[in-house]
Chain A
Amino acid sequence: MGNDAIVTVDHVSMKFNLSSEKFDSFKEYVIKSIKRQVSYDEFWALQDVSFEVKRGQSLGLVGLNGSGKSTMLKIIAGVLKPTKGRVAVGGNMAPLIELGAGFDMDLTARENVFLNGALLGYNRAQMEAQYEDIVHFSELGEFMNVPVKNFSSGMVSRLAFAIATIGVPDILICDEVLSVGDFRFQEKCEERIGNMKEKGTTILFVSHSLTQVEKICDKIVWLEKGHLKKFGDAEEICRIYAGS
């Protein structure tokens, strides 16, 4: 393992207990524990996955629905704790996991900029400095004082993307985010991600669009039903994946 690894995923497994054992009520819990019926319907979303990403490299995750891509990203982002194994991350992260998750619909766009900035760990002064840039990029200049609940979904994602990509984070996590907005905005997003990459940001990228993955990523992790099927150079894996 080299010192320049920015994300190290070390034999990670993630187990979910399916709903049959989720007790919402205390009574149910007591009765079931007395009867020793605490059954665990286990589901392994990820099993023994290991890989590492070097600083400045970009990694794509591909696989079918349910193969564990989003779970993997959530573990790297620190949202989920792996059941087994270890993840080490050496840098600050900007999670773009689901655009607009941090928005409060009752607040105006302007207020949401500061709230979301704070969620990403920026203080007010830093956000003031970036504010013009966000407004400009999202092209929402005249709507900044409108509550977000009146926005269209395209507007929400534009604003969310603009906020999440301010500054130059060490790691940018994108989960299916480039499928939003119109064609022109998608291009703008790709361009911005490209710029960040040039400045040395490591990008972790999930998408079903192979062309996007191939364009952005150097390395690819191919997951199948929670197992690591292949890990290697983008071109090679894209070719095999497209053929499978």
Chain B
Amino acid sequence: MSTYIKNFLKFQPLLSELVARDVKIKYRRSVLGVLWTLLNPLCMMVILSVVFSNIFKFDVENFPLYVLSGQVIFNFFNDATTSSMTSIISNAALLKKIYVPKYLFVLARVFSSFINLMASFTALLLVMVAVRAELHWTLVLSAIPLLLVVAFSLGVGMLLAALTVRFRDIMHLYSVFTTGLMYLTPVIYPMSMLPSGIKSVVLLNPLTNYVTMFRDLAFNSTIPSFGSMILGIVECLAAIVLGVYVFYKNQDEFILNI
């Protein structure tokens, strides 16, 4: 175990360099540069708010915020898992040449998505102030479901990265899967309008729990029930254990398949 930690500490600078590279390259040659991390989600939110407060209307208090908060979490999950999925194959040239702990590439992708998550969370706060939503102290606690989603995405990302090295089909399949998953997550519709059959399916989706917890804390100043908290933690641990297990089982063969 201690050798693992030592190895991680040795390559910790690499992790920050990789994250910095992702961010730098994304905004290179753009006039506003890193400001786009904040501006991009903000602009998206303005459009969404206009669309959802005029065209679609569900019986939900402060509907734009409802949609935005769902988007913040779902987009992070989508972004983090999709980019970690290709993290091993797109660094093939490097992995074939020198020894680097392979999980670092997955971790770096999740971290760069995490930076985007913080930016879109900030944008969400700005929108909350702009629409004069009540700010409760429980807003501080909404960081907990966010961190759970980050850990959950890391687990799923590790699993996807390892499987994609074996079966490239997953890359094509996964974008279809996430489109479906978005409709199984209460991002644009409220849970109350679902027929009970579909509702039980939506409740099986781990993201539903995270999104609901986040909204409760951010907007309704409701502390999530003990049960949903435990469920969230268990699901996130399960994803991590499964992801790490599959990744470690397969990582020595990555090099032969990329």
Contacts and interface: CB of A to CB of B under 8 A. Distances in A.
Interface of A: 16-17, 22-27, 29, 77-81, 93, 95, 97-98, 101-102, 104, 106-107, 111, 114-115, 117-124
A17 B97 contact: no
B27 to A, nearest CB: 12
A58 B90 CA distance: 35
Interface stretch (B13-21, B129-137, B195-203): B13-21
Contacts of B17: 114-115, 118
26 contacts: A16-B256, A22-B257, A25-B169, A26-B169, A79-B97, A81-B252, A93-B99, A95-B97, A98-B97, A101-B93, A101-B96, A101-B98, A102-B98, A104-B21, A104-B25, A107-B21, A111-B24, A115-B21, A118-B11, A118-B13, A118-B17, A119-B14, A119-B100, A121-B10, A123-B13, A124-B13
Among B10, B14, B100, B256, which residue has the most Cβ atoms of chain A within 10 A? B14
The CB with the most chain B CB atoms within 10 A, among A77, A114, A118, is that of A118
Contact of A79 (B11, B18, B24, B99): B99
Given A111-B24, A118-B13, A119-B98, 4 more contacts: A29-B167, A81-B252, A120-B98, A121-B13
Given A106-B25, A107-B21, A107-B24, A95 B98 contact: yes
Contacts of B252: 81
B98 A77 contact: yes
Nearest to B172: A25
Given A111-B21, A119-B14, A79 B255 contact: yes
Contacts, number: 76
Nearest to B98: A95
Interface residues of B, number: 29
Interface in B22-41: 24-25, 28
Contacts of A115: 17-18, 21
Q: Chain A at the B interface: mostly helix, strand, loop or mixed?
A: loop
Given A104-B21, A107-B25, A115-B21, A122 B95 contact: no
Contacts of B257: 22
B101 to A, nearest CB: 10
Contacts of B18: 115, 118
B21 A24 contact: no
A219 B11 CA distance: 32
Contact of A24 (B25, B98, B168): B168
A25 B168 CA distance: 6
Interface in B156-175: 166-170
B256 A17 contact: yes
A81 B169 CA distance: 26
A1 B220 CA distance: 70
Contacts of A124: 13, 16
B95 A24 contact: no
A-B interface, 4 closest residue pairs, ranked by CB to CB distance from nearest:
A78-B99, A101-B97, A118-B14, A123-B13
